[in-house]
Structure 1
């Protein structure tokens, strides 16, 4: 730092402030310091600075899967917005196992994150104890938990599916099936299944057309296999609601292999608004979970809490409102 200061003609303290983006350092001076640092190959030691300031500058985020487009969109928006506040993400994934989530929470809290972001509201009791005593903001996303630990940014997966069932019934569908959401590891999938069953029951319709598609995450191949079983066990089904767009696309391909026309012979609906649902033939009706909005809103909440711009106050519940996207795969002619 002393070498950089001499090269830039400033004090070492000014160099430190420039790397921290301190407002007392002008843009011209900061640019000169950064240029000198680049020429000398200097990298600012944030660890030493953090020891003095008691700040780590990172936010822990735990998601179920790293290859799920919805969670990727959430993390991307979360990261982009946090970076505007000089905060970075330390990311972990659970593979849909709450025991692994507990381990990750314990590991990440040892590194003193500024906040921790979780996916869903179901955790082990030890994980809940760790989070409750962490002394940092805890934000549960993608759900509306019955027992929130701290702040919440999410929606009811069951209610979102109820809205879809209500719309399908209004469009004239009566024999409605569901694929996926049977595994306890995917609580959001289980909630979607519960929402479908509850809505069908409220309409006085058959609630037994349920096909388990395997452990999460459910792939296109598993969606195709589940659709094959649906057609074998319930051949008169009019529309199939799938736990995700990937399983819906697999279901669509199985219908096409069998020469069934979608939606004329059978309609298909997904969840998640993946890119594949918008480019498939036919395009797939789905529910937009507003994945990026969840990340952006969560990041804004964290920045507000960490910066201390406002008193912490009570834990906040910020609802996100999923959108029904009705496309070709369920259009009644």
Structure 2
């Protein structure tokens, strides 16, 4: 009679339950060391593509489930990163987050994503819940955080990257652009083209308001007063754009140019303008923010401000990985922006 392996002899424990596959079992089956199995799962960048694929094939075939808790206790690393963003409905944020997650996954990190709903209080709740899972690092959107969040992160002492914004009051590393510079650049660019009657349509997002306020202040220095504002306390949707422009026109305000908090809002403005028979850009010019795919294929094509969301996500991930590896990182990384003119202006 052939001698059976330990796995075959001990397929079940004393209570009739199946004994879980161990990392040593996988290593023996794959013909590699246990540390190679661990690296193939948690640090795929440290092994060759062929070795990684071979090990993962054995992992799938044997049904091996890594004990993340045990690994975290042994290495003091959870291989988890928390990413907090205002909303998953806005494609700009989702593009940044997807770029971050993809790069982190290449280095063996998994991501926990939580939407804050633009609320600092909700950011507090989510952060407390996520810190209980012992993430190795945290990515926050923006730089406006409560005193409790700042104190909590300082006490935990893990790497933090603030995405989207640049400010003088940083927590650790910042990757993004200056919203104030966006507002000023838009004012300068389109004032030079002759636009004198302006309006802003958007949502009550702190980042959008920074752009709006900088735009208004810059226009005042250029001699343009009374910039009309339609700011709604909700998420960015086409409806916001339609309502915003309708409110402007119904109260007798006829701007030459509407600067919107996002491309989504701008598309709503475009739809409302079309429904009223307005020519764009002859009667009304429209500028969005974000350079989304829908903006490029709108009719007319939407002018916008591009912030290169995918590149920003890559830079956020790279900065965080450097901090996680104990390497120095630039304290601020400016990913910049560009005004892209299309048919709507």
Give the TM-score taking structure 1 as reference length.
Answer: 0.90
Question: Which residue is 2:7 aligned to?
Answer: none
Contact 2:237–2:264 (CA under 8 A) maintained in structure 1: yes
- 2:309 maps to 1:291: yes
How far is the alpha carbon of 1:146 from its aligned partner?
A: 3.6
**Residue 259 of structure 1: aligned partner:** 277
Q: In 2, distance between residues paired with 1:325 and 1:194?
A: 21
Describe the shift of the 1:14–1:197 C-alpha distance in structure 2 as closer, same or farther (beyond 3 A).
closer
> C-alpha separation between the residues in 1 aligned to 2:319 and 2:343?
37
Which secondary structure does the structure 1 equivalent of 2:114 belong to? strand
Do the aligned partners of residues 122 and 9 (structure 1) sit closer, same or farther apart at CA in structure 2, a change above 3 Å counting? closer
User: Kindly tell me: are residues 317 and 257 of structure 1, through their superposed partners in 2, closer, same or farther at Cα, counting changes over 3 Å?
Assistant: same
Give distance in 1, aligned partners of 2:227 and 2:77: 53
Query: Contact (CA 8 Å) 1:180, 1:193: kept in 2 or not?
Result: no
* Residue of 225, 228, 231 corresponding to 1:209: 228
- The answer on 1:62 being equivalent to 2:77 is no
Q: Secondary structure at the match of 1:142?
A: strand
Determine if contact 1:209/1:234 at 8 Å carries over to the other structure.
Answer: no
Q: Is the 8 A contact 1:5 1:11 kept in 2?
A: yes
Q: In the alignment, is the contact (CA less than 8 A) between 1:57 and 1:114 conserved in 2?
A: yes
2:324 matched to which residue of 1?
Answer: 306
Q: Is the 8 A contact 1:174 1:238 kept in 2?
A: yes
Q: Please point out which of 173, 177, 187 is paired with 2:195.
A: 173
- Name the stretch that deviates more: 240-249 or 32-41: 32-41
Q: Are residue 101 (structure 1) and residue 123 (structure 2) matched?
A: yes
How far 1:222 sits from its partner (Å)? 1.6
Q: Is the 8 A contact 2:81 2:110 kept in 1?
A: yes
Q: Which structure has the larger Rg over C-alpha atoms? A: 2
Q: By how many angstroms is 1:26 displaced?
A: 6.9
Matched, 1:154 2:172: no
What is the CA distance between 1:39 and its match in structure 2? 2.4
Aligned to 1:80: 102
Quote how far apart the aligned CAs of 1:203 are: 0.6
Instruction: Please state how far the C-alpha of 1:252 moved relative to its aligned partner.
Output: 0.8
Give the superposition deviation at 1:33: 4.1
State how many pairs are aligned. 323
Instruction: Give the structure 2 partner of residue 46 of structure 1.
Output: 68
Closer, same or farther: CA 201–10 of 1 in aligned 2, 3 Å: closer
Cα offset for 1:211?
A: 1.7
> In structure 2, what is the Cα distance between the partners aligned to 1:208 and 1:27?
57
Structure 1 unaligned regions, length at least 5: none
CA shift at 1:261, angstroms? 0.5
Question: In the aligned structure 2, how far is the partner of 1:191 from the partner of 1:278?
Answer: 25
Q: How far does residue 327 in structure 1 lie from its aligned partner after superposition?
A: 0.7
Please state if 1:319 is matched with 2:334: yes
Q: CA 1:39–1:233 in structure 2 vs 1: closer, same or farther (change >3 Å)? A: same
